[in-house]
C-alpha cells in the first residue's frame, strides 16, 4: 500500500496545487474578491505553498526509502518532476497580470 502511495501522491499533490492556485486566481478576478485586498500576495502565497508542499514530499520520499529499488527510483523521479511542474505551471498566475 505504501508503494502505491509513493507512486500516486506526487502527481495528485501537483494536481491539487495546480487546481488550487488557478481556482484562487479565478476567485481574485471575480466580484466576490474584496476590492481592498490585493490579489498578487494571495497568489504568490498559493504558488509558494504548492511548491513548498512538493519539496517537502520529495524530502520525505528520499528520507524513507522503499525496499523496492524500482519504486524508490520511480517515486523520487515523480516527486522531482512534480516539484518542477508545480513551480513551472503556476508561475504565470503568480507573476503575470492577474485579470485580463
pLDDT tens digits along 12-71? 999 999 999 999 999 998 889 998 888 889 999 999 999 999 999 999 999 988 899 999
pTM, 2 dp = 0.89
Model confidence band, residue 1 (pLDDT cutoffs 50, 70, 90): confident
Domain extent, residue 32, equals 2-95
Residues in the chain: 100
pLDDT of residue 94: 75
Q: Is position 62 within any domain? A: yes
pLDDT in tens, 63-93: 988 899 999 999 999 999 999 999 999 888 8
Question: How many whole angstroms separate alpha carbon 51 and alpha carbon 8?
Answer: 17
Tell me how many domains the chain contains: 1
Question: How many whole angstroms separate alpha carbon 28 and alpha carbon 36?
Answer: 11
Q: Is position 10 within any domain? A: yes
Percentage helix, strand, coil, to 5, in the chain? Answer: 80, 0, 20
Q: Is position 8 within any domain? A: yes
Q: Which grid cell sits at 88?
A: 513551472
Q: Is position 100 within any domain? A: no
Q: Cα 35 vs. chain centroid, distance in angstroms? A: 27
pLDDT of residue 53: 97
Amino acid at each position: 500500500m505504501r508503494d502505491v502511495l509513493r507512486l500516486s501522491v506526487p502527481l495528485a499533490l501537483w494536481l491539487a496545487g495546480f487546481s488550487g492556485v488557478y481556482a484562487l486566481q479565478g476567485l481574485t478576478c471575480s466580484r466576490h474578491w474584496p476590492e481592498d485586498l490585493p490579489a498578487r500576495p494571495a497568489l504568490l502565497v498559493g504558488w509558494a505553498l504548492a511548491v513548498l508542499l512538493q519539496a517537502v514530499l520529495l524530502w520525505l520520499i528520499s528520507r524513507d526509502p522503499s525496499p523496492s529499488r524500482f519504486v524508490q527510483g520511480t517515486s523520487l523521479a515523480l516527486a522531482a518532476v512534480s516539484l518542477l511542474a508545480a513551480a513551472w505551471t503556476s508561475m504565470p498566475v503568480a507573476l503575470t497580470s492577474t485579470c485580463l
